[in-house]
Structure 1
Amino acid sequence: MKRITILFFIMFTVLIHSQQKKFTQTGPQKLNKEQHHFIKSINEYYPEFSLDNAIRNVLDEKKQITESYLEFKNPPNDCDDYLITVQSDNKQLDYEFDFGAGNGNAIFKGTVYLFGVDVYKTELVTKAGKLFFTLYKNGKEVFSENPYKGLN
């Protein structure tokens, strides 16, 4: 019984190890042509995503970009911490801005989508245990779900 258990353990370990994908991350570099065009389209309506930044690309074993992370010299919107991810198709950008106690203690999360010529942005704000959802199209608010209107 012990031999069979050890045999299964070794077999599954080898199978799992052989299925793991290998990814590498590049150092900070300039945006490529497609990424530059995508960020420029977004920046037209949402200036917090500026072009004066570097990008770190995550590459698969075939050296294809799987996703990318934007890096800024100074954090956007004076936030304390941020994470901005560009998807490999250059049509979606996910972001999170964290503001500490000195900046209102809020977390802004959202996604920016590029559909044809329109740029949509969804934003979910968490502040003091309250949630606020807003949808934008080309920089203009289309929908806002704020159950706390009038409350501070």
Structure 2
Amino acid sequence: MEDQDFVRKHFSALVERVTSVMPIADKLLANNMITQEKHSKITARVAHQDKIRLLLSVVNSGDAALKLSFFKVLKEEEPILIQELEGLKKDGTEVAIKRTQSRKRQKTMEDQERASWRGTESERRSETSAESVLDSAQRQSEYTQNYAPESALRQDSARCR
């Protein structure tokens, strides 16, 4: 397979599995393969997949030198991914592929994001519960101060009758 066709043939797999978008974009900028403007547009994207989609579209629209440079940088940054993708037969069936380190890293990052979100949510619930307990205790205290003496007087006066 020619290195120039690599992005076109593996576009969806690259979008899903490349984890080091910015290091790749940085190296392409440092090698004057992409402009500062294109690099800034990639950096400005918030979602990881948006960044890689834009980078891949820039590479696809570029010349052979850019495609070759991208392939070399990708091979440096994500060697296992390249080995796996090159291990795919031309008809698209997979040769025995082990789970890649890059996929594990991506899953780990996703798990950490989920865990931090859950932690934040549980912290919010905890704070809300603590506030509810305090509000309840404060209302009970106010009720006891305001109405308990009055009811005690009523009970005393009822006994006297």
Which bin holds the TM-score, normalised by the shorter protein?
Answer: under 0.3
TM-score, with structure 1 as normaliser: 0.26
Q: Structure 1 or 2: larger strand share?
A: 1
Structure 1 or 2, whichever has the larger Rg, is 2
Q: Structure 1 or 2: larger helix share?
A: 2
Which structure has the higher relative contact order (CA within 8 Å, separation 6+)?
A: 2
